[in-house]
Amino acid sequence: MTARRKLSDFFMSNLCQADGILSPILKRTKRDQTLDFEIRENEVHIYYRGGRILQIKSASNYFTCGFDAEYAKEWPCPKFPSVLKEQADSESVVAAIPLLKEVMDFFFAEHKDKSEREFQQLIVRENNYSIISNATDYFIVDLEYATPGARFDLVAIKWDSNGTKRQKNGLVTTPPKLALCELKYYTAALDGKAGLLQHVEDAALFLSNEDHVRLLKKDALSIFEQKRKLQLVTFGPGGNANAVDRLDESIELILMLANYDPECSKLRNALEALPVTPNVEIKFAVANFMGYGLFKEGIHDLATFKEQFNRQIYCGS
């Protein structure tokens, strides 16, 4: 059984090498913090405001590139090469990015229910390549991770920012941990078929299968390794050459509740109905004052969360 979320050597070389076909696109993405680069099964998705602005796939000796047609139903879409065979093709794609952004801005202005994905991308940025990314305790390895039987908003690796734990000996004595994150934006997202309770139940069932867990961890390690090679993860000035090649046995399921209305009773009802999950630790993310950085001090278990935020949870009772 092998990891599925990985780019081929051909793909990687054309991203990393100065004369690579895709190097202008990678360079543009790294210079623009409104864009997010995510690895799929030998393809790349680049996101803007949580929506996919570019999808790049590998062919035999070239690449294909596309824009999600959903965003261009009502506004004209700028032209750019759909087949990338040389750097000039990628440079034409780069030139079209500001116009593609404008099309998506118009779309999101009319579809305000898409805000959840934009918040997901902000979490990726803050914890992977912002000014604080080396200080947080989680790195996001994937966004919108989908596999038969499960979907996770964010897949992360919890790697404690304590200096000793990010060294070789620390990796041996305290290996990083897999963390799966579910973001619920506003009150309406807490119930129904895609609600909080349903997601916890689905995740617990998925993670009860050892093969699923093994493959998911392989994917996480593979993506994290390639993102580091592509310099999509920012450490301190000295960098960090220590490889993460194994993860702790335990797994965290982190529930993120954005802009929840305290006068609503949905959260109370959801928390009271949460099942026992022996194969995963249910946690709740709370902002460190304001922001999207994931610090371990702001990640609480259920009992602590209910105790510290009793007023917000039970205000609507």
Q: What is the pLDDT along the chain (317 residues), one digit of tens a residue?
A: 344 789 999 999 999 999 999 999 999 999 999 999 999 999 999 999 999 999 999 998 999 999 998 998 888 889 999 999 999 999 999 999 999 999 999 999 988 877 889 999 999 999 999 999 999 999 999 999 988 878 999 999 999 999 899 999 999 999 999 999 999 888 877 887 778 888 899 999 999 999 999 999 999 999 999 999 999 999 988 899 999 999 999 999 999 988 888 888 888 888 888 888 988 999 999 987 888 999 999 999 999 999 999 988 887 55
Q: What's this model's pTM, rounded to 2 decimal places?
A: 0.92
Short-list 222, 285, 214, 295, CA closest to 251:
214
- Final residue of a domain: which of 79, 94, 110? 110
Domain of residue 28: give its range. 9-110
The pLDDT score that the predictor gives to residue 30 is 96
Tell me, yes or no, whether 170 and 299 share the same domain: yes
Q: Is 177 helix (H, G, I), strand (E, B) or coil?
A: strand
Tokens standing for 1? 């059984």
Tell me, yes or no, whether 155 and 279 share the same domain: yes
Mark residue 254 as left, alpha or beta (left: phi above 0; alpha: psi -120 to 50; beta: remaining). Answer: beta
Strand 35-39 and strand 177-185: the pairing is: unpaired
The amino acid at 46: I
Tell me, yes or no, whether 178 and 303 share the same domain: yes
- Final residue of a domain: which of 110, 132, 147? 110
The pLDDT score that the predictor gives to residue 266 is 86
Tell me, yes or no, whether 124 and 86 share the same domain: no
- Final residue of a domain: which of 72, 89, 110? 110
Q: For tokens 């004369």, name the residue.
A: 19
Tell me, yes or no, whether 96 and 124 share the same domain: no
Short-list 220, 275, 282, CA closest to 251:
282
Short-list 259, 120, 258, CA closest to 180:
120
Under 8 Å between Cβ of 136 and 295: yes
Tell me, yes or no, whether 164 and 119 share the same domain: yes
Tell me, yes or no, whether 125 and 263 share the same domain: yes
The domain tally of the chain equals: 2
The pLDDT score that the predictor gives to residue 53 is 97
Tell me, yes or no, whether 89 and 61 share the same domain: yes
Tell me, yes or no, whether 93 and 13 share the same domain: yes
Tell me, yes or no, whether 106 and 121 share the same domain: no
The pLDDT score that the predictor gives to residue 1 is 37
Tell me, yes or no, whether 264 and 125 share the same domain: yes
The pLDDT score that the predictor gives to residue 2 is 45
Under 8 Å between Cβ of 315 and 307: no
